[in-house]
A and B are shown apart, each in its own frame.
Chain A
Amino acid sequence: MRRFTVPFLTIILFLLFWEWLVWFNEWPNYKMASPSDLGPSLWKYKMLFFSFGWDTLWRTVAGLLISIVVGVALGMIMGFSKLLQEGLYPLLIGFNAIPKATIVPILSLIFIGQHDFNTVLIAFLISFFPIAVSVSIGLSTLEPEYRDILRALGASKLTIFWKIALPKTLPEFFGALKVAVTLAFIGTNLMEIVSPHGRGLGALFDSGKTNSDYPLMFSVLIALAALGIVLYYFVVVLERIFAGWADQLSG
């Protein structure tokens, strides 16, 4: 019972405080929204929320899928070859150090008007780094004995990868994927907000901003949070299925 009531009460208290703050300061809707405005706003634009929410979701997922493929490939390359790791690591760190917000205008200029492509691209660019690093570390820190027990029997490198290296790296991979989900969402929204005449929740947020429609802007935030939570827990479920064994190690 307490597991549900305590968080529930905290949320209610927070919303009441927010409602009171807006009421006390007599802020109009073009200055600040109150929680009681959000429901009507979500309802009013429900069709837009569904169709734009879907845009944001599939773009983020598409970006993430590319991230997984490229991140795992890069991680494998760096994990298996010391030489390539030495070569690629500085480049990746340098790339990761660039705030991705600065890449958004560049991409939107290069591929002007191609909203889907732009958005998926930035979601990918922002989220592949943690995956690549975690996979490469997982592979390069594999104890040599693990490799030796199979190698001594004449197993091929590919067999060792499938039977040992890959499963052993899964907990690190899922840890990174949870970070990547959040990052990909940031990427998608950055691009959607910046792209003119675009679609997606970011574009809806931007139109709320243009019209000083604070209830709409806050409703977008709620919708984004909901999508983010859904995606995050989807990854958690996958983690339980494929790397649940690692839970028992720490627990």
Chain B
Amino acid sequence: MIEFKNVSHYFSSKNNEIQVLDKLSFSVPRNGFSAIIGPSGCGKSTVTKLIAGLIKPRKGSIILNNVPVFSPRSNIGMAFQNPVLLEWRNILKNVMLPLEIVHNNLNGKEKVERARELLALVGLAEYENSRPSELSGGMRQRASLCRSLIHKPEVLILDEPFGALDAFTREDLWLTMNSLREKESFTCLIITHDIREAMFLADEVIVLSGRPAKNQFSVKTEKESNDNLDQLYTPHANELLNILREQIGIARRKELEDK
């Protein structure tokens, strides 16, 4: 479970302070999946850094499974738009990287088995000996997802993970993401620009206002299934899409007015 309680945060530049988050509160239930959308540069990535404990909030608190976050913790997995695979390692070794850092009771053989299990889940079983440079963008992102899950984190943070992929590859990865969710248990928060992506993956979509980001709107997606892309094109989905587009519009207008 991820909880944000009245979190405010500022970036200090040379002469002034810029507020990026303003009393932001939301929560993602255990094994839930929420998406955050909002105008560009509204502080969405700051949210991921705060959850990971990479930065500390100025005000308010962040709580993961009833424990407040003060510093980085090993029960988190992260994936970014840039898959940041290590080019000098093969895919298997890349996926196993977190196990070299996080304390675990697995022996060498079990680690390899765990990595292979995940690679098979995302369809990369035959590529464990390949170098990242030999893989396509979508495959690299799949490997990056495996790496973020290998140590069985309780919380998974995805920061626009599919943003750099073409539309078809992206849809493939949505399905992959959902099958990972069925097999693995984690609480997930995804930051995205893509409204359909948010609708297809998440149980709840949270819209942030422009900078400084505060809660503006949130809606449950009430999906029927996790493996059918057609449900994105039903009247119900269109209605939801329009509501979310409208909310993003409001957020962007507000930001322009403030400037």
Task: Tell me the A residues contacting B by CB distance below 8 Å.
Answer: 143, 145-146, 148-155, 159, 163-164, 167-168, 170, 243, 245-246, 248-249
Binds A, one of B30-38, B74-82, B248-256: B74-82
Determine the residue in chain A with the shortest Cβ distance to B99.
A153
Task: Tell me the B residues contacting A by CB distance below 8 Å.
Answer: 49, 52-54, 71-74, 76, 78, 80, 82, 84, 86-88, 97-98, 100-102, 131, 133-134, 147, 151
CB-CB < 8 A to A249: which residues of B?
87, 133
Determine the residue in chain A with the shortest Cβ distance to B100.
A163
Determine the residue in chain A with the shortest Cβ distance to B51.
A152
CB-CB < 8 A to B72: which residues of A?
151-154
CB-CB < 8 A to A159: which residues of B?
101
9 residue pairs, one from A and one from B, having the closest CB atoms: A152-B52, A245-B88, A154-B72, A145-B84, A153-B101, A155-B101, A145-B80, A167-B88, A152-B78
CB pair A148–B52 under 8 Å, yes or no, is yes
CB pair A151–B54 under 8 Å, yes or no, is yes
CB pair A150–B131 under 8 Å, yes or no, is no
CB distance from B215 to the nearest CB of A (A): 25
CB pair B84–A248 under 8 Å, yes or no, is no
CB-CB < 8 A to A155: which residues of B?
101
CB pair B133–A153 under 8 Å, yes or no, is no
CB pair A148–B101 under 8 Å, yes or no, is no
* Neighbour of B82 across the interface among A143, A151, A163, CB < 8 A: A143
CB distance from B249 to the nearest CB of A (A): 30
* Neighbour of A163 across the interface among B49, B53, B73, B97, CB < 8 A: B97
CB distance from A150 to the nearest CB of B (A): 6
* Neighbour of A152 across the interface among B53, B131, B133, B134, CB < 8 A: B53
CB-CB < 8 A to A143: which residues of B?
82, 84
CB pair A248–B131 under 8 Å, yes or no, is yes
Determine the residue in chain A with the shortest Cβ distance to B134.
A248
Known: A152-B54, A153-B76, A154-B74. A167 touches B86 (CB 8 A): yes
**How far, in angstroms, from A146 to B82 measured CA to CA in the complex?**
9
A-B contacts, 29 listed (Cβ < 8 Å) = A145-B80, A145-B84, A149-B78, A149-B80, A149-B84, A150-B97, A150-B101, A151-B54, A151-B72, A152-B72, A152-B76, A153-B76, A153-B98, A153-B151, A154-B73, A154-B102, A155-B101, A159-B101, A163-B86, A163-B97, A163-B100, A168-B87, A243-B88, A245-B88, A245-B131, A246-B87, A248-B131, A248-B134, A249-B87
**How far, in angstroms, from A122 to B171 measured CA to CA in the complex?**
61
CB-CB < 8 A to A148: which residues of B?
49, 52, 54, 78, 80
* Neighbour of A248 across the interface among B54, B98, B133, CB < 8 A: B133
CB-CB < 8 A to B53: which residues of A?
152
CB distance from B192 to the nearest CB of A (A): 17
**How far, in angstroms, from A146 to B132 measured CA to CA in the complex?**
14
Known: A148-B54, A248-B133. A153 touches B102 (CB 8 A): yes
CB-CB < 8 A to A146: which residues of B?
84
* Neighbour of A154 across the interface among B49, B84, B101, CB < 8 A: B101
